[in-house]
Amino acid sequence: MSRVDVTAVTKHFGTSKALDDVSITFDDGGFFALLGPSGSGKTTLLRTIAGFHFPDSGSIRIGEREVQRVPVEKRDIGMMFQNYALFPNMSVADNIGFGLRVRKVGAAEERRRVAEALELVQLGHLGQRRPSQLSGGQRQRVALARAIVTRPRVLLLDEPLSALDKTLRVDMQLELRRIQREVGITTIFVTHDQEEALTLSDRIGILKDGRIVQVGPPREVYERPVDAFAASFLGEANWLPPSRVAGLELPCRSGAGSFAVRPEALSVATVPAPGKNAIQGRMSQHVFAGAMATCLVDIDGSYWKVIARDRDIPQIAPGADVWLSWSAADTIAVPTPA
Amino acid sequence: MRRPLLPVLGRLWLALILVFLYAPIMVMAAMSFNASPFYQLPFSFSTRWYAEMAGNPQIITAALRSVSIALVVTLIATALGTAASIALFRYDFRGKKVLQLLLFPPIAIPWLITGTAMLIFFFAIGLGRGTPAVIIGHVALALPYVIVTVTARLSSFDITLEEAARSMGAGGWTVLRRVTLPWIAPGMVAGALFAFAVSFDQFVVSYFLSQPGDSTLPVLIYTAIRKGFTPEINAISTIIITVSMAIMFIATRYSRFGGER
């Protein structure tokens, strides 16, 4: 297990800049999510740490070792691919044992560690199957077992859950987290699914256009985004029109120019809540979804979204005036984008 | 119910084509078992010509030479062709498209032209005629077939399998041996069989490039026919056709161009 330091890494593909002066530290034993829209450079960053790309400039350290010029096979990493990339001509056990055989650990040791890895991912009985005989979730577990069986210094996951359906994905998220904790391996995880990033990781890095926008624990990034992009990309944000700012209690942050409120921080009522910020709008829609409900409220022509327990939202006819209230502390302040 | 006319006509047409293709071969095969040296009927079954063929040292030597040349050609062409296919698949480089296009005309250019060109070229570089020239010539003819079959197989190969192997610590050679080659093996087998058939059946280029007295089987047959026809030729031809067809059949079974296994 090791920490990973990426320092001032820049990478071009032809004339396009895939990574632009990226510096980021992945703590030893941490679970780190790299989050960003497609083309943001998150996968390039992961593959550069893996060694599939060499950076044009900058350095990468895994533990104490400088690796920016070291080829993939010499970096001692474990990687899980989006399509799992299991070898179709090998059994599950041979897939998992591949890295051990390459390292020449010996047949007995290989058997023991493969069995251990299969046990860890709860597939103890499936060692002799072919990958084609497994379900999607099982293949995913095999891929994970294969990536960690060599006890690599860092585990790299490239959108590993995106091929699974929703229910299975949630199960696998918890499973992945359990296994990562059990093994204690430094893990870097690329995803475009913000919910997945929030659930799984203890730190999140948001990327855009090859640059790091913000790095921090999920709660911090969610509650205190550094700019409008981070605020909108991680979670949803209702933006306060400048004309409505007067009379509200807003955080004083140097350079702050735009304000937003998360949908779940809002409450809906026919009167403003005392001691809170409140703005008036017109009720547009109330969408019932079981325990929770979503309201759309028209504020000067743009819709604010409110997410709350259904019983906390009063029955108000569409078109009627309503007040949206929130605690001053829940206001998100970011610099106005240039 | 009236049967539609078109399928019936279609079947008839297909039958005619098959007769046209195979009747001469069948006649030859039948005659190789006919006792009469002058193709006289009634047919009387005999294996005399096969026995005479087996006792003819010229034919046996030529046959062995043909087989050895074909084996060497198969080895070289399969190795080179596979390497070329992997390079074309894995790397992007300047002129790759042009190179890929250039691989196909040799299949279409008449062998007579290719043979003449090779003869001139080999004399120009001082290699001249002889078995090495024949082998080089055959390899050149067989290469495109290997590249086509291996490339077809590679097109369904998932390159992340190589990346996965590397991430587990496997170097280039191990990746090739344990991951890439097992996947393309069926394409290589098909390509090798094609290469063998191209070399074994090759007449024109062999005729141009081999030294007199050093003939391959097809060249020997040709010269034998010019001197005077004997039913021994029927016998050896029948054997060649049977072997060639078997090889082609296996090759097409293995290649299944571009399909899943």
pLDDT (tens digit, 0 to 9) for every residue of chain A, 338 residues total? 688 999 999 999 988 889 999 999 999 989 999 998 888 999 999 999 999 999 999 999 998 898 989 999 999 999 999 889 999 989 999 999 999 999 998 899 999 999 989 988 888 888 888 999 998 888 988 999 999 999 999 999 998 887 777 778 888 888 888 888 888 899 999 988 888 888 888 999 999 999 999 999 999 999 888 888 888 888 888 998 888 877 777 876 656 678 889 999 999 988 888 888 889 899 998 888 888 889 999 998 889 999 989 888 888 888 889 999 999 888 888 887 65
Residues of chain B in contact with residue A88, where contact means CB-CB under 8 angstroms, are 183
Work out the minimum CA distance from A171 to partner chain B, whole angstroms. 24
* Preferred mutation among A13, A84, A98, A104 to probe B, highest tally of B CBs within 10 A: A98
Interface residue A151 vs chain B (CB under 8 A): no
Q: Where are the beta strands (DSSP E) in A27-153?
A: 31-35, 57-62, 65-66, 77-80
Q: Are the Cβ atoms of B165 and A103 closer than 8 angstroms?
A: no
Angle B57-90/B131-154 helices, nearest 10 degrees? 40
- Tokens representing residue B151 in the block: 């490339």
Integer Cα distance of A129 and A150 in angstroms: 21
Residues of chain B in contact with residue A98, where contact means CB-CB under 8 angstroms, are 165, 168, 170, 178
Fold of A4-232: Rossmann fold (3.40.50)
Correct CATH for B49-255 of 1.10.3720.10, 3.20.190.10, 3.50.50.60, 1.10.10.10: 1.10.3720.10
Is the pLDDT score of B3 beyond 80?
A: no
Is the pLDDT score of B140 beyond 80?
A: yes
CATH of domain A240-335: 2.40.50.100
Q: Tell me which residue of B25, B75, B23 sits closest to B237, measured CA to CA.
A: B25
Q: Are the Cβ atoms of A150 and B170 closer than 8 angstroms?
A: no
Strand partners, B34: B45
Residue in the structure block whose two tokens are 């060649």: B240
Residues of chain A in contact with residue B182, where contact means CB-CB under 8 angstroms, are 89
Strand partners, B5: none
Q: Is B94 left (phi over 0), alpha (psi -120 to 50) or beta?
A: beta
Q: Where in chain A is the domain with CATH 2.40.50.100?
A: 240-335
Interface residue B27 vs chain A (CB under 8 A): no
Residue B106: phi, psi to the nearest 5?
-55, -25
pLDDT of residue B258: 39
Q: Which of A88, A102, A156 sits opposite B168 (nearest CB)?
A: A102
Could you tell me whether strands A16-26 and A4-13 are parallel, antiparallel, or unpaired per DSSP bridges? antiparallel
Residues of chain B in contact with residue A103, where contact means CB-CB under 8 angstroms, are 169
Question: pTM of the full predicted structure?
Answer: 0.78
Integer Cα distance of A170 and B218 in angstroms: 68
Residue in the structure block whose two tokens are 């799992």: A84
Interface residue B171 vs chain A (CB under 8 A): yes
- When pLDDT is cut at 50, 70 and 90, the band that residue B259 belongs to is very low
